[in-house]
Amino acid sequence: MSPRHVPGRHRHPEPRAARTIHRKPEFVENFFEFIAQEVREYLAMLGARTLDEVIGDVTRLSVQSLDDPTNDLDLSRY
């Protein structure tokens, strides 16, 4: 049996890397607060207050460039 294998228990293959993994709920909470702030900023740029206002609203979509030779989308019906 290898020295890294412990029966009945999962071990990280790199012990040093395992020590750097922080498993704190505060980190997850901070991450989602950051994402929420980013979403609020994008909504403000769009002039919306909620996600419900922009979900499915195709009037906010625009085509930036059709000059790309690999572009084979037919946007004539939109």
pLDDT score, position 13: 63
Residue 16 lies in a domain: no
Contacts of 4 (CB under 8 A, 6+ apart): 11, 13
Residue type, 65: S
pLDDT score, position 53: 92
Binned at pLDDT 50, 70 and 90, residue 50 comes out as: very high
Q: For residue range 23-34, what is the model confidence (pLDDT) as tens digits?
A: 788 888 999 999
pLDDT score, position 24: 83
Task: Please tell me the distance from the alpha carbon of residue 65 to that of residue 40, in angstroms, as a whole number.
Answer: 27
Which of 53, 52, 49, 32 minimizes the C-alpha distance to 40?
49
Residue 15 lies in a domain: no
Look up the domain containing 28 and give its range.
Answer: 24-54
pLDDT score, position 66: 64
Residue 10 lies in a domain: no
Residue 73 lies in a domain: no
pLDDT score, position 77: 64
Output the pTM of the full model: 0.50
Residue type, 39: V
